[in-house]
Amino acid sequence: MKIIHVCETIIGGTGSYLSEVIPHQVERYGAENVALLIPQTHMPFVEKSILDSGARIFTFARPRRLSGSIYLSFQYLRRLQSFKPDIIHAHSSIAGVIVRSLRMFTRAPIVFCPHGWSMDMKGSRAMLRMTEVAERVLGRLPDQIVVISAHEYQRALDIGIPTSRLTLIPNGIANIVPAVAPAPWDDDRIKVLYAGRFDYQKGVDVLMRAVEGLDDRLSVRLVGDAASGNRVLPAKLPACVTEVGWLDRKGVTAQMMSCDVLVVPSRWEGFGLVAIEAMRLAKPVIASAVGGLQEIIDQGRYGYLVQPEDVQELHDRLLELDREELRAMGEIGHNRYLSKYTADRMVRQLDDLYARMLLTSLPAAAGAGTDE
């Protein structure tokens, strides 16, 4: 089986997802049979596990997002001819639009994974309505849409995508923690970690407003950088906040090992992979009640939920944090991770889906070869 993963960006959750999927697929199908198409400028963000796997990596120019989409289209068509994939797996909205719109150029089954529906983004009502219509139309073009949370599944049903096109495969991460020592973080205050992009979706600006006045109680670290949209951090950070910058997976894990709690203040979220990365380490999570985060935390049973963009509620939750309670919640969250969000389960489900799709496509392919 030859598989190509097509991405308009690999920064953030998509890259973490592929760092679990691609090494497994290389081991199962061979390095020569697994390929990844990404922007050239995103090569520094490719996870080491992907690079070490030996999977083939193709790149395209991405000087700007719009022109990058044109380059992606040309490179995608080129790789259809040179790589000849049996399965095409497109990730996130822009790559999904391109691969689905060019459906007529391949007989290979197409999988699309939104990694968060574009119609869940903040925007005008007219724009969101147009996005819903576009997704309804495009939703009938791929052979299967892999949704990573029950929230994504329900949103697809809400806009009229048929259940026959949908497969729910919740995200997962390996139960083997990267071999790394905890990051130095010597502070008597409660240690709060944020790990993600510094853009509007992720709500890091909400966290900055919420920690105002808590300098004596909290030590806050920000791991990440802006990857899409404008950087939303204030020019002057609160006194209790330290900006660490972008780190690789081992670096993020080291910071998580040292923190008391992870905060995920997203405005919208298809899943929220960073939350289960923390739960794997038995670290408690405070998250916005949006998208897949609500399922991960299960309405507050396995972590703390606050309303999105509610600065006062997040401030009050941070003010009330107690280390003993945090440790107890961390253990509860760890059990949740083990029961529901391991990578072994995720990659097996994806293997099964690919196999079913290929089996279904065989009669059509055989019939096509006999046309006169």
Cα–Cα distances in angstroms (integers) from residue 34 to residues 4, 6, 297, in the given order: 6, 11, 34
Q: Does a structural domain hold residue 181?
A: no
Residue 194 main-chain phi, psi, to 5 deg? -120, 130
Q: Does a structural domain hold residue 110?
A: yes
Residue 123: its pLDDT value, please?
67
Which of 66-70, 129-133, 156-160, 352-356 has the weakest average pLDDT? 129-133
**pLDDT category, 370, cuts 50, 70, 90?**
very low
Residue 343 has pLDDT above 50, yes or no: yes
Are 325 and 208 found together in one domain? yes
Cα–Cα distances in angstroms (integers) from residue 292 to residues 44, 152, 163, in the given order: 28, 8, 19
Write out the residue range of the structural domain in which residue 282 sits.
190-340
If you average pLDDT over residues 186-192, what whole number do you get? 96
Residue 362: its pLDDT value, please?
64
Residue 116: its pLDDT value, please?
83
Distance CA 135, CA 176 (A): 36
Q: Does a structural domain hold residue 182?
A: no
Residue 135 has pLDDT above 90, yes or no: no
Over the stretch 19-74, which tens digit does the pLDDT of each residue have?
999 999 999 999 999 999 999 999 998 988 999 999 999 999 988 777 889 999 99
Give the amino acid at 166.
Answer: L
Name the residue with higher pLDDT: 67 or 282. Answer: 282
Are 16 and 159 found together in one domain? yes
Q: Does a structural domain hold residue 179?
A: no
What is the pTM for the complete model shown? 0.84
Name the residue with higher pLDDT: 302 or 11. Answer: 302
Are 11 and 159 found together in one domain? yes
Over the stretch 95-105, which tens digit does the pLDDT of each residue have?
999 999 999 99
Residue 368: its pLDDT value, please?
40
Residue 232 has pLDDT above 90, yes or no: no
Are 212 and 326 found together in one domain? yes
Are 76 and 127 found together in one domain? yes
**pLDDT category, 228, cuts 50, 70, 90?**
low
Residue 270: its pLDDT value, please?
85
Are 19 and 158 found together in one domain? yes
Number of domains in the chain: 2
Residue 89: its pLDDT value, please?
98
Residue 364 has pLDDT above 70, yes or no: no
**pLDDT category, 261, cuts 50, 70, 90?**
very high
Residue 350 main-chain phi, psi, to 5 deg? -70, -40
**pLDDT category, 87, cuts 50, 70, 90?**
very high
Residue 352: its pLDDT value, please?
96
Over the stretch 323-338, which tens digit does the pLDDT of each residue have?
999 999 999 999 999 9
Which has the closest alpha carbon to 287: 306, 269, 309? Answer: 306
Q: Does a structural domain hold residue 183?
A: no
Residue 124 main-chain phi, psi, to 5 deg? -70, 155
Distance CA 99, CA 87 (A): 12
Question: Token digits for 86?
Answer: 């049996």
Are 164 and 217 found together in one domain? no
Are 364 and 319 found together in one domain? no
Percent of the chain scoring above 70 in pLDDT: 95
Q: What is the CATH number of the domain that holds 48?
A: 3.40.50.2000
Are 336 and 347 found together in one domain? no
Are 126 and 256 found together in one domain? no
Q: Does a structural domain hold residue 207?
A: yes
Residue 229 has pLDDT above 60, yes or no: no
Residue 299: its pLDDT value, please?
80
Are 274 and 198 found together in one domain? yes
Are 156 and 7 found together in one domain? yes
